[in-house]
Amino acid sequence: MTGTAYTLYARAGAGSLAPQILLEEISVPYQLVWIGRSPAELESFRRINPEAKIPSLVLPDGTAVSESAAILIHLTQAHPAADLAPAVGSSAHARFLQWMVFLSANVYETALRYHYAERYASASSSAAERKRCVQGSPRHVGEGSGPHDRLPRDAQGHASWGGSLGSVMPAVEKRIRLVVLNVGGLWLDPALPEADEINYAPRVTQPVLMLNGEHDNYFPLETSQKPLYRLLGTPPADKKMIVYPSGHIVPRVDFMKETLAWLDKYLGPVQGATQ
């Protein structure tokens, strides 16, 4: 489709989600090419991006661009009518650039320490240890290899820190039709009123499934999980909370089973699925 549309090279659970969201928001035609991790796929992808990094975007004229911040900034400037960034040259645009660079150079890089821990540690044992240390970090949002990645676009699935933010986003984004909070709860630190989940949870009206651990030390049952559940503005018939005898991580199989049942209940069974 070169010459007529963008081509986004993507991977589930990777940084290609941001440009994909932007392309959707802009409503411009684009082709998605999913890149796996097999040597053959990576080898052929190197023809587009020699570093084989996701995301990569091929522009309609065939130019290949990598680096998430560059891709996002370019898309906002190439499609000003979509009004997704402040006017170029304005002070607001300078602050926009500040955040774009901070997010890609710092936050994104931090997440990579989890996914490629072995590159940041000298021995494999310390790499494994490093992975355990960052559990509970933003890597849980859209985590790979779980039902999070396969959620339809009008459902929202978040875990841990995302579970906490999951009480904020559906309050302000009503295109989200249902929510799964995998170990969600109220953050116990004091927050400014404009960022405090307490002020958002009552405005959540979509169906919410909350899956929690009884012994969770991040989001304690009585002081964090249950208050969030009570505060949700969702009608009682459309919210459900299951508490497992676990810690911060709930049993994976139960999580998948309950999540898929919740999706089927509110979005209907998957159409055209093959066994």
Ligand X SMILES: N[C@@H](CCC(=O)N[C@@H](CS)C(=O)NCC(=O)O)C(=O)O
Nearer to ligand X, 56 or 234 (CB): 56
Closest approach, Cβ 175 to ligand X, in A, equals 25
Torsion 101-105-110-116 (CA) sign: positive
From the list 17, 19, 258, 270, the residue with the least C-alpha distance to 149 is 17
Question: Which residue from 67, 143, 197, 258 is in contact with ligand X, where contact means CB under 6 A?
Answer: 67
Instruction: Verify binding: residue 54, ligand X, rule CB under 6 A.
Output: yes
Specify whether the CB–CB gap between 8 and 30 falls below 8 A: yes
Instruction: Verify binding: residue 53, ligand X, rule CB under 6 A.
Output: yes
Q: Three-class SS of residue 85?
A: coil
Question: Which residue from 8, 10, 14, 73 is in contact with ligand X, where contact means CB under 6 A?
Answer: 14
Specify whether the CB–CB gap between 25 and 19 falls below 8 A: no
Closest approach, Cβ 15 to ligand X, in A, equals 4
Instruction: Verify binding: residue 49, ligand X, rule CB under 6 A.
Output: no
For the chain, give the number of residues.
275
Instruction: Verify binding: residue 112, ligand X, rule CB under 6 A.
Output: yes
Residue 162's identity, in one-letter code, is G
For residue 148, CA distances in Å to 112, 155, 243 come to 19, 9, 19
Q: Three-class SS of residue 53?
A: coil
Nearer to ligand X, 15 or 170 (CB): 15
Instruction: Verify binding: residue 15, ligand X, rule CB under 6 A.
Output: yes
Binding span for ligand X by CB under 6 A among 108-116, 157-165, 167-175, 210-218: 108-116
Q: Three-class SS of residue 22?
A: helix
Binding span for ligand X by CB under 6 A among 50-58, 136-144, 180-188, 208-216: 50-58
| Residues lying near ligand X in the complex (CB under 6 A) | 14-15, 52-55, 67-68, 104, 108, 112, 116
